[in-house]
């Protein structure tokens, strides 16, 4: 709960900083970043709530559990897709700087975010539809231990989610590898540009973040195996996996953009130190994305 509180304060201050400074409104990079921050905050809150509920109440109403689980699955699936979108934005800004403003406009960025949300919502919605067809209506009136495998029990859901996860993660991994290699080639040709090096490091950090996100898809099986071997340590095993899979990756988004980006860090530190509440109408400077203070 303490870690959740600290991360919630950090994420809340970042969202407040974004909303209070219009200099970020027209920059696709910061729009996608703030969507990632909000998504991480919602996911962390839901997962923490489910974790606490499993300890205190053990069983809750199946309908309420369905809402919590579906939202948690949605936010979990949207994270790697958003990482792919952010890596693609860095790739275009570095490799096609002259066409960046025409390719990555704010409306197209919002459209990309909408597509990400649709793709991320497909697995939980299909889980619900299959369960509605397979289970009697009285199932949602029962009390269950709020876990995805206990709520969505049909075997077809497991294989369907494996297909979804394999397709999503393969696409994201290939996107990150491709964008990183292209940015590396650009970095060699323009080794004097600090923005190119920062973009390369940003995509590399996205790769680390993706690896941590991928743990969420293998942990259930590994956790079940360890609990069967060491049943007396079941609570400790669940707690360790909870920290590694759901808590630690949430620290990376603030590090990648909140601390490393010079422009955002300037406004963010000013807010943290001075607590400015006035909406700052700042006219953004026109700069080439490849030579700006971007990450």
Q: Is residue 256 part of a domain?
A: yes
CA dist 83 and 66 (Å) reads: 26
pLDDT in tens, 67-98: 988 998 898 888 888 888 888 888 888 888 88
Q: Rounded to the nearest 10 degrees, how much is the dihedral formed by the CA atoms of 131, 137, 143, 145?
A: 0
Q: Are 29 and 294 in contact (CB under 8 A)?
A: yes
- Least Cα distance to 100 among 295, 293, 287 occurs for 287
Q: Is residue 264 part of a domain?
A: yes
Which tokens in the block code for residue 51?
Answer: 């974790």
Q: Is residue 282 part of a domain?
A: no
**Count: domains in the chain:** 1
Q: Is residue 132 part of a domain?
A: yes
CA dist 238 and 76 (Å) reads: 18
CA dist 241 and 68 (Å) reads: 20
Instruction: Name every residue whose Cβ is closer than 8 Å to that of residue 77 and which is 6 or more positions away in sequence.
Output: 119, 120, 123, 124, 164, 168
pLDDT in tens, 212-263: 766 766 666 677 778 788 888 877 887 787 777 777 777 666 666 667 777 8
**Helix, coil or strand: residue 59:** strand
What integer best gives the mean pLDDT of the chain?
Answer: 79
- The residue whose two tokens read 């203070």 is 293
CA dist 167 and 23 (Å) reads: 36
CA dist 208 and 129 (Å) reads: 34
Higher per-residue pLDDT: 136 or 292: 136
Sign of the C-alpha dihedral computed for residues 56, 61, 64 and 65 taken in this order: positive
Residue 116: predicted pLDDT:
92
Q: Is residue 295 part of a domain?
A: no
CA angle 75, 146, 49 (to 5 degrees): 55
Q: Is residue 85 part of a domain?
A: yes
Structural domain harbouring 140: 2-274
Q: Is residue 290 part of a domain?
A: no
Q: Is residue 221 part of a domain?
A: yes
**Looking at residues 13-27, what average pLDDT do you find?**
87
pLDDT in tens, 158-212: 888 888 888 888 888 888 888 888 877 777 776 556 666 676 677 777 677 777 7
The enclosing domain of 18 has a CATH number of: 1.20.1070.10
């Amino acid at each position: 709960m303490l870690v959740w509180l600290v991360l919630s304060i950090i994420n809340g201050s970042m969202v407040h900083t974004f909303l209070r400074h219009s200099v970020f409104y027209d920059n696709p990079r910061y729009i996608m970043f703030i969507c990632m921050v909000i998504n991480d905050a919602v996911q962390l809150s839901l997962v923490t709530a489910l974790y606490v509920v499993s300890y205190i109440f053990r069983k809750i109403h199946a309908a309420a559990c369905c809402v919590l689980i579906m939202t948690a699955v949605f936010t979990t699936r949207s994270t790697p897709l958003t990482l792919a979108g952010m890596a693609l934005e860095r790739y275009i800004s570095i490799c096609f700087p002259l066409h960046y403003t025409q390719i990555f406009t704010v409306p197209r960025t919002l459209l990309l975010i909408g597509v990400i949300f649709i793709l991320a919502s497909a697995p939980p919605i299909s889980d619900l539809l299959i369960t509605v067809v397979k289970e009697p209506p009285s199932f949602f009136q029962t009390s269950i231990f709020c876990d995805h495998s206990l709520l969505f029990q049909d075997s077809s859901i497991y294989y369907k989610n494996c297909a979804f996860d394999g397709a999503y993660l393969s696409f994201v991994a290939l996107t990150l590898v491709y964008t990183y290699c292209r940015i590396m080639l650009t970095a060699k040709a323009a080794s004097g540009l600090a923005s190119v090096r920062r973009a390369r490091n940003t995509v590399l950090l996205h790769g680390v973040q993706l690896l941590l996100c991928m743990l969420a898809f293998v942990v259930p099986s590994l956790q079940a195996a360890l609990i069967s071997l060491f049943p007396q340590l079941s609570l400790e095993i669940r707690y360790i996996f909870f920290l590694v899979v759901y808590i630690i990756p949430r620290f990376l988004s603030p590090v990648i953009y909140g601390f490393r980006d010079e422009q955002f860090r300037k406004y963010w530190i000013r807010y943290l130190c001075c607590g400015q509440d006035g909406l700052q109408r700042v006219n953004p400077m026109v700069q080439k994305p490849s030579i700006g203070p971007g990450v």
